[in-house]
Amino acid sequence: AGTPRHRDPGRSWRNTAAWKRASARQITRQPWCTDCRHTGSPDNPLTCDHVVPVAAGGPIWDRMNHTTRCRRCNSAKGGVVA
C-alpha cells in the first residue's frame, strides 16, 4: 500500500535544520493559527504549513507558501490547497 508519508524520501527536508529555522521564523511572524486563531499549547502546538502542499508542487522554501496552523488544523487540512 505504498510508503508511509513519514518515510517518503521526498519529505526528507522536514527534519533538516533549515526547515526548523524556516518553521520557527514563520511562527514568530504569525504566532497564531490561520484557521482557528489558537496561539499554541503543549498538547496542540503551532506548526508551519505549506499553503500549496509540496506534494502538489508547492515550493518548500518560499515563505509566501508558508502559513501557521495549530497541529489539529494542520492535520485536519491534510494535503489540500488551503
Q: Which pTM value belongs to this model? A: 0.81
| b/e per residue 34-62 (b: at least 16 CB within 10 A) | bbeebebeeebebbbbbeebeeeeeeeee
Supply angle C-alpha 40, 28, 55, rounded to 5.
80
Does residue 10 or residue 33 have the better pLDDT? 33
Give 18-74 pLDDT, tens digit per residue.
Answer: 999 999 999 999 999 999 999 999 999 999 999 999 888 999 999 999 999 999 999
Count of beta carbons in the 10 Å neighbourhood of residue 30: 14
Instruction: Tell me the CB-side half-sphere exposure of residue 52, using CA atoms within 13 A.
Output: 10
- Rounded Cα gap, residues 74 and 69, in angstroms: 6
Chain length of the chain? 82
